[in-house]
């Protein structure tokens, strides 16, 4: 999640989203992709030109205002073979209903905001309380805890400076928003999951844009047990980050899901300065939740902007900026 207090150019000017722009995001974040279809989420993204649920060469988008009540984000598919994208109305933040419960019970983990980064998702079941399993959803891997933000006060724009990061295993799946059935009586059903407009009420077929999303991702119209375990990479970003890249920003950012030698050097530098980053909990060269938390605490101690995302300034502070190439 992008904190606009750290934005180099927070702007509500429209820009063009395309396969090429997503490729630049992947390059600047040092991500590795798998499969031919990549899922991506654009927090606070609004579609201006282009149609939902169709393969497009490009689309015009702009920054949106988050409110925890309406679909103010985008979830999309990126076909690496055809270099086309498809966009869907979605939310990547919890509904205000759950956010208020989190504020009322700060000692509990109720509503969270998945940090931006690259994640491993596998096809499986979303398992809501007191309702049938929704097969065919996309489940966030639980192999390691991730860096997730929680807010304990009203903050419609969810600025990171007002949040508290946690290192935890979260159930932030990608599934239907239940936007028509409204099982909790709210506009979309999420306490932190990535949800797409539409419904899935087993044993019925998924409907709405969520159904189209599943089909374009390569899944069958009716969820099949044969598809369980299929893997997708999910790239979660903030619209401001894409806007900066579209405007020419070439800075490197290392965060959840980044890989490579520079990540290893970052981890080794943090281990020298931060005893809580234990080699038993990391694979050097892969930026995981433990790395994000250690970096966040280092940033706090050094008076840097604390996001758990390594910028050039952070790498320079750690003495490894000479290896950064643009």
Instruction: Give the domains, in start order, of the chain with CATH numbers.
Output: 4-242 (no CATH), 254-323 (1.10.101.10)
pLDDT of 9 reads: 43
pTM, two decimals, is 0.94
Q: How does pLDDT run across 199-241, given as a tens digit for each residue?
A: 999 999 999 999 999 999 999 999 999 999 999 999 999 999 9
pLDDT of 144 reads: 86
End-to-end CA distance of the chain: 23
Contact between residue 245 and residue 235 where contact means Cβ atoms under 8 Å apart:
no
pLDDT of 160 reads: 84
pLDDT of 5 reads: 39
Tell me whether the omega of the peptide bond preceding residue 203 falls within 30 degrees of 0, making it cis: yes
pLDDT of 282 reads: 93
pLDDT of 166 reads: 93
pLDDT of 220 reads: 97
pLDDT of 7 reads: 40
Which residues in the chain land under pLDDT 70? 1-11, 156, 275, 321-326
């Amino acid at each position: 999640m992008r904190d606009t207090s750290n934005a180099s150019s927070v702007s509500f000017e429209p820009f063009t989203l395309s396969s090429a722009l997503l490729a630049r995001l992947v390059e600047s974040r040092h991500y590795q992709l798998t499969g031919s279809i990549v899922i991506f989420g654009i927090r606070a993204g609004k579609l201006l030109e282009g149609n939902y649920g169709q393969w497009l060469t490009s689309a015009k988008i702009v920054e949106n205002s988050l409110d925890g009540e309406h679909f103010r984000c985008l979830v999309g598919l990126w076909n690496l073979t055809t270099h086309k994208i498809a966009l869907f109305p979605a939310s990547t933040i919890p509904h205000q209903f759950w956010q208020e419960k989190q504020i009322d019970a700060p000692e509990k983990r109720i509503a969270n905001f998945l940090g931006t980064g690259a994640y491993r998702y596998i096809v499986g079941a979303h398992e809501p309380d007191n309702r049938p399993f929704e097969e065919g959803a996309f489940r966030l891997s639980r192999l390691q805890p991730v860096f997730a933000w929680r807010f304990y006060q009203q903050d419609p724009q969810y600025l990171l400076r007002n949040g508290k990061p946690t290192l935890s295993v979260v159930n932030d799946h990608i599934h239907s928003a239940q936007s028509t059935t409204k099982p909790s009586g709210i506009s979309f059903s999420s306490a932190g999951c990535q949800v797409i407009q539409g419904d899935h009420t087993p044993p019925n077929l998924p409907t709405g844009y969520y159904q189209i999303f599943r089909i374009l991702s390569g899944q069958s119209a009716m969820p099949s047990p044969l598809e369980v375990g299929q893997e997708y990479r999910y790239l979660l970003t903030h619209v401001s980050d894409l806007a900066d890249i579209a405007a020419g920003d070439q800075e490197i950012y290392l965060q959840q899901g980044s890989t490579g030698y520079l990540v290893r050097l970052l981890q080794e530098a943090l281990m020298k300065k931060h005893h809580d980053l234990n080699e038993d909990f990391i694979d050097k060269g892969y930026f995981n939740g433990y790395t994000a938390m250690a970096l966040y605490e280092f940033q706090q101690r050094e008076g840097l902007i604390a996001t758990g995302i390594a910028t050039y300034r952070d790498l320079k502070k750690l003495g490894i900026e000479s290896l950064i190439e643009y």
